[in-house]
Amino acid sequence: MVVVMSPDATDEEVAHVVERVEAVGGEAFVSKGLVRTIIGLVGDIDSFHHLNLRTLPGVADVHRISDPYKLVSRQHHSERSTVWVGPAGHQVPIGPDTFTLLAGPCAVETPEQTLAAARMAQSAGATLLRGGAFKPRTSPYAFQGLGVRGLEILAATREATGLPVVTEVVDARDVAVVAEHADMLQVGTRNMANFGLLQAVGEAGKPVMLKRGMTATIEEWLMAAEYVAQRGNLDVVLCERGIRTFEPATRNTLDVSAVPVVQATSHLPVIVDPSHAAGRKDLVVPLSRAAIAVGADGVIVDVHPDPETALCDGPQALDGPALRELASVCRRLPPVLGRADAADHVRRG
């Protein structure tokens, strides 16, 4: 941490900052420049926070030089992490050495629709099944999902296909039942900063997929991940799903830069959701190509056996032909970039 004094700060004010820092066990190194004095602090950053240094007389600014998150930062964990998803004996990797395709219906509607979507996903090379049972809809009049019945359908679909399941939880009170049925808990964009929910999923004992808030900075997103990690769960996969911008041609704007930025600052895996970013089927394959090229650890897409009848997000769901095109991209492009297919690295022990 660095304290920048204002140009007219007095020697007493500088001495006062040093005194406060030393009082909490820190060390303060004063450098006097021609115009201003800066003070470098060494010690426990949390104890410096409690000093409210910015409010002390003569202080112009305070800068952190370490990340505001610890457990998810690469500063003390330089190796990038792999998160394993699935029951013992069938765990799918999401991490730096592999490429993982996750696919499935936006919403679970019926057992038949879910199974058909899962078979489509599987035939395209997906190793994890997505599907919403609790749907966080913008309108309270829109289909809200089947709830626990939807979870049961997902669990039955896992039995039928062998695909581990990722599904969203929107309320801390539902975490236990979702964790009972699913292999990975999804926290959606609308709940990224729901800190009670983040803490609850952090205690649920299952890996978490944390989507980026649609108006969240990357730093806010990583701090949300820190909430999960702080509850003892480091199995967090981040998912870039587009952010709100002024551009109306797409539902959101996919922030491809977020992938390498996250990878430089956090050890957590990061995947991309081109379906929710674009909101349009025709952009899903091009954006998937971009995601793979920029280094994403996986891609998650919506598929539906009959998008026209979908109860949720039909316009962005891939149908058979579009999915085959995606499958071809996901088979050919990751190896060029040195990534193995997650399907070949499933942990069966």
How many residues make contact with Mn ion (CB under 5 A)? 2
Figure out which of the listed residues 313, 323, 326, 346 binds Mn ion, where binding follows CB under 5 A: 313
Task: Answer yes or no: are the C-beta atoms of 102 and 297 closer than 8 Å.
Answer: no
106 contacts Mn ion (rule: CB under 5 A): yes
Q: Identify the residue whose tokens are 């797409």.
A: 250
The interface region with Mn ion, picked from 98-106, 202-210, 252-260, 320-328 by CB under 5 A, is 98-106
From the list ligand PEP, Mn ion, none, which binds 267 (C-beta under 5 to 8 Å, kind-based)? Answer: none
Using H for helix, E for strand and C for coil, what is the string for 190-214? HHCCCHHHHHHHHCCCCCEEEECCC
334 contacts ligand PEP (rule: CB under 6 A): no
Figure out which of the listed residues 181, 206, 276, 281 binds ligand PEP, where binding follows CB under 6 A: 276
Task: Answer yes or no: are the C-beta atoms of 226 and 71 closer than 8 Å.
Answer: yes
At closest approach, how far in Å is the CB of 136 from ligand PEP? Answer: 6
297 contacts Mn ion (rule: CB under 5 A): no
Touching ligand PEP, residues 237-266 (CB under 6 A): 241
Compare residues 136 and 315 and give the one whose CB is closer to ligand PEP.
Answer: 136
188 contacts ligand PEP (rule: CB under 6 A): yes
Burial 306-335 (b: 16+ CB within 10 A, else e): ebeebbbbbebbbbeebbeebbebbeebbe
Distance in angstroms (rounded) separating the CA atoms of residues 40 and 83: 37
Using H for helix, E for strand and C for coil, what is the string for 79-105? CCCCEEECCCCCEEEECCCEEEEEEEC
189 contacts ligand PEP (rule: CB under 6 A): yes
Q: Identify the residue whose tokens are 């999401």.
A: 94
106 contacts ligand PEP (rule: CB under 6 A): yes
Figure out which of the listed residues 206, 211, 267, 339 binds ligand PEP, where binding follows CB under 6 A: 211
Binding site for ligand PEP (CB under 6 A): 106, 132, 136, 168, 188-189, 211, 241, 273, 276
